[in-house]
Amino acid sequence: MRFRIKFKIINNLLTLFILVLSLGFTAIVALFWFFVLDVTAVGQGVVKCRKWIDIKPEIRGIVRKMAVKEGQWVNRGQVLFSLEDRERELEVEETELRIAESEIRIAKLRNTLILTADKVVGEIREAQARLDAARANYRIVLKGPKKEEINLVKSKILRARKQLKKSSKDYELARAAYDVKVVTRLEVEQALHLKNLAQMDLRLTRDELILLKNKYDEDQVAASKADVDYTQAILQKAVARKSELDILRRDLQTALNLKVKEEKKLTVLSEHLNLTRIDSPMDGYVLTHDTEHLVGRAVAEGEVVLRIGDRKEYIIDCKVSERDFPLVAIGQKARVQIKPFPKGEYKLFDAEVIKIGADVKELGSPSDMGAIDKLAGMLNSAQSMQEGFFPVILSLEPPYELPILGDVYSIRPGFSAEVEIITRQEKIVKYLLRKVLRIKGRLTPENIHL
The SS3 assignment for 1 reads: coil
Whether the per-residue pLDDT at 400 is higher than 70: the answer is: yes
DSSP characters over 41-82: EEEEEEEEESSEEEE--SS-EEEEEE---TT-EE-TT-EEEE
| Backbone angles phi and psi of 203, in degrees to 5 | -65, -40
What local confidence, expressed as pLDDT, does residue 376 receive? 45
Whether the per-residue pLDDT at 432 is higher than 60: the answer is: no
DSSP characters over 177-200: HHHTTSS-HHHHHHHHHHHHHHHH
Q: Dihedral angle at the C-alpha atoms of 70, 76, 78, 83, nearest 10 degrees? A: 80
Q: What is the DSSP letter of 277?
A: E
| Distance (Å, whole) CA 158 – CA 109 | 66
Q: Which of 284 and 84 is assigned the larger pLDDT? A: 284
Class of residue 157 by CB neighbours under 10 A (exposed 0-12, middle 13-18, buried 19+): middle
Question: For the residues 383-389, what does the mean pLDDT come to?
Answer: 68
Question: For the residues 174-189, what does the mean pLDDT come to?
Answer: 80
Percent of the chain surpassing pLDDT 90: 8
Q: Which of 49 and 362 is assigned the larger pLDDT? A: 49
Q: How many helices (DSSP H) and strands (DSSP E) are in the chain? A: 8, 17
Tell me the HSE value of 441 on the side-chain side, using a 13 A CA sphere: 6
Query: Cβ–Cβ contacts within 10 Å for residue 420, how many?
Result: 17
Buried-state track 42-60, b at ≥16 Cβ within 10 A, e below 16: ebbbebbbeebbebebebe
Tell me the HSE value of 51 on the side-chain side, using a 13 A CA sphere: 7
Q: Compute CA distances 180 → 172, 174, 177, 184, 245, whole Å.
A: 13, 10, 5, 10, 84
User: Binning pLDDT at 50, 70 and 90, where does residue 217 land?
Assistant: low
What amino acid is encoded at 92 in this protein? V
What local confidence, expressed as pLDDT, does residue 375 receive? 42
What local confidence, expressed as pLDDT, does residue 409 receive? 79
User: Binning pLDDT at 50, 70 and 90, where does residue 449 land?
Assistant: very low
Whether the per-residue pLDDT at 440 is higher than 70: the answer is: no
- What are 136-152's pLDDT values in tens digits? 777 777 766 677 777 88
Whether the per-residue pLDDT at 436 is higher than 70: the answer is: no
- What are 348-376's pLDDT values in tens digits? 788 999 999 877 766 666 655 444 444 44
- What are 322-341's pLDDT values in tens digits? 888 888 889 999 988 888 77
What local confidence, expressed as pLDDT, does residue 138 receive? 75
Q: Is the dihedral of CA 263, 268, 271, 273 positive or negative?
A: negative
Q: Compute CA distances 428 → 115, 431, 434, 439, whole Å.
A: 109, 5, 10, 17
Q: Which residues contact 103 (CB under 8 A, 6 or more apart)?
A: 259
| Distance (Å, whole) CA 191 – CA 183 | 11
Question: For the residues 281-285, what does the mean pLDDT come to?
Answer: 89
- What are 305-327's pLDDT values in tens digits? 898 998 888 999 999 988 888 88
What local confidence, expressed as pLDDT, does residue 61 receive? 81
Q: Is the dihedral of CA 161, 165, 168, 174 positive or negative?
A: negative
Whether the per-residue pLDDT at 126 is higher than 70: the answer is: yes
Domain covering 34-51+310-447 assigned CATH 3.40.50.1110 in the classification: no
pTM of the predicted protein model: 0.50
| Distance (Å, whole) CA 334 – CA 41 | 9
| Distance (Å, whole) CA 86 – CA 273 | 10
User: H/E element holding 158?
Assistant: helix 147-179
Q: Highest-confidence range of 69-83, 120-134, 268-282, 352-366, by mean pLDDT?
A: 69-83
**pLDDT, averaged across the chain:** 78
What local confidence, expressed as pLDDT, does residue 444 receive? 47
Whether the per-residue pLDDT at 443 is higher than 70: the answer is: no
User: Binning pLDDT at 50, 70 and 90, where does residue 425 land?
Assistant: low
Buried-state track 196-207, b at ≥16 Cβ within 10 A, e below 16: eebeebbeebbe
The SS3 assignment for 241 reads: coil
What pairing do the DSSP bridges indicate for beta strands 407-410 and 401-404?
antiparallel
3-state DSSP of 341-387: CCCCCCCEEEEEEEEECCCCCEEECCCCCCHHHHHHHHCCCCCCCCE
Whether the per-residue pLDDT at 403 is higher than 90: the answer is: no
Residues of the chain with CATH 2.40.30.170: 34-51+310-447
Question: For the residues 404-414, what does the mean pLDDT come to?
Answer: 80
